[in-house]
Amino acid sequence: MDYAAITETFTKLALEAGDLIMEVYASPDFEVKSKSDESPVTEADEKADAHISAGLRAAFPDIALVTEEQAATHGQEVSTFLIVDPLDGTKEFVNRRGEFTVNIALVENGVPTHGVVYAPVLGRLFRTTASGKAEEMDVETKATKPIAVSTPDMGGLKVVASKSHRDQATDDYIAQYQVADFLSAGSSLKFCLVATGEADLYPRLGRTMEWDTAAGDAVLRAAGGHVDAMEGGGALPYGKPGFANPFFVCYAPGVNVKPL
């Protein structure tokens, strides 16, 4: 596998998709439709998906592709594949809160090994490198800097949780910890905040799909963090039938993860 080409292609397509998304975001009005699961979808999701999918299929024709917006890809049984969420955080997009992301990842033998997460409004791009490390790229200058999880302060953790999907069960779980600071963020940015050390813990007690998590998971693992299933423990697996995730928790080493 040519990981340098993976990194370059993922980054290029994510940036280009971000431009397409921002064109729609800047328009005074855009249509919001509902998918079969009642989740929202917009022209921005569809344009970004078409662009990324075409680019990945052209660059890596021999690797299976799974993408949120193409239901025909959801019936595959694969362990090594490309997986895309062209616009994660559509609710953030629709409400013009800015915390939405473009997500592209490579899963190998059930493990997300390489990925890019791009937040176009925030101008932040997080990615794995060809050598398996993690870095943040300045979108304007293309300069990069390595990122790594922090060493948690056991006297009080920095916790991040969903902006659009936080509920009582999540609050009850977080209450088991000594919390020094609480952050709220949308989309896969939560993985990246743990990866950069801006947060120590991110629990998710709600429905997610593998395309929601794979890219952020790859970045966080490369930054030295963990993404574990809450029930049964162990790293969150990928390539599951239907691509639905169990509840999970992301954390920096040193955090004493509590049971559900």
Which residues fall in the annotated binding site for Mg(2+)?
A: 68, 85, 87-88, 212
φ, ψ of residue 143 in degrees (nearest 5): -70, 145
- Binding positions for substrate are 68, 87-90, 212
Closest CA to 74 of 173, 172, 209, 208: 209
Instruction: Check if the beta carbon of residue 207 is closer than 8 Å to that of residue 242.
Output: no
- Binding positions are 68, 85, 87-90, 212
- Cα separation, 26 vs 40, whole angstroms: 18
Note the helical H segments in the chain.
3-25, 43-59, 90-94, 168-174, 189-195, 210-222
DSSP letter assigned to residue 151: -
